[in-house]
A and B are shown apart, each in its own frame.
Chain A
Amino acid sequence: GAVVSQHPSRVICKSGTSVKIECRSLDFQATTMFWYRQFPKKSLMLMATSNEGSKATYEQGVEKDKFLINHASLTLSTLTVTSAHPEDSSFYICSARQGIGELFFGEGSRLTVL
């Protein structure tokens, strides 16, 4: 299957700093990328949907100024958590697909804000 690479896998930062997570589709062009957040033992919560070259569509309750999403090319999307606080600590997972159908997921990024 297609490969989606997500980096970093783990990041620890101080409160108030910003953290960028990258998501790359390695062997296909991703028309759409999705960013999910997952709390321990919970399901995936969709944060936003991004299409290449256009602004991301955020889900209700997700602060677009805190979670900046950029989908600069058909193979790269980034999530920047700005002015991170301890409550932003979570497991963030990106996914990508070409057209409709199955999603290919990255390995996830564990963010810990001290």
Chain B
Amino acid sequence: SQKIEQNSEALNIQEGKTATLTCNYTNYSPAYLQWYRQDPGRGPVFLLLIRENEKEKRKERLKVTFDTTLKQSLFHITASQPADSATYLCALDAEGFQKLVFGTGTRLLVSP
């Protein structure tokens, strides 16, 4: 069956450290993978998109890697801040770009 799993439901780290979130997928062959941030009671906000032929993508303190052999994406937040506390969701296109399917999400808590 098809699955998109994010390694942990919750992740607690200290301010200033690097947060690393994992997204693994099974039985998908995405052309690209996306990461979103969701705050409580709000809709998700797009962060980054990485294509299958890209190994790494960066945006300010964010870095995403994409390994199609391992079927895994890693999402890093460097120099984390309490304001980074949120749920982070990975997503990938399925069925020839007809729909976007989301992973289980990881709640990140950055403590001062």
Contact = CB atoms under 8 A, between A and B. Distances in A.
Interface bracket on B: 20 to 34
* Prevailing SS type, chain B contact patch: strand
Interface bracket on A: 20 to 34
A54 to B, nearest CB: 12
Interface stretch (B44-52, B56-64, B73-81): B44-52
* Prevailing SS type, chain A contact patch: strand
Interface in A21-49: 34, 36, 41-44, 46, 49
B28 interface: no
Interface in A58-114: 91, 93, 95, 100-108, 110
Nearest to A6: B43
A17 interface: no
A49 B97 CA distance: 11
Contacts of B101: 46
22 contacts: A6-B43, A34-B99, A34-B100, A42-B105, A43-B89, A43-B102, A43-B105, A44-B44, A44-B102, A46-B100, A57-B98, A93-B44, A95-B100, A102-B49, A103-B36, A104-B46, A105-B43, A105-B45, A107-B42, A107-B43, A108-B41, A108-B42
Given A103-B46, A105-B44, 7 more contacts: A36-B102, A43-B103, A103-B36, A103-B100, A105-B45, A106-B43, A107-B43
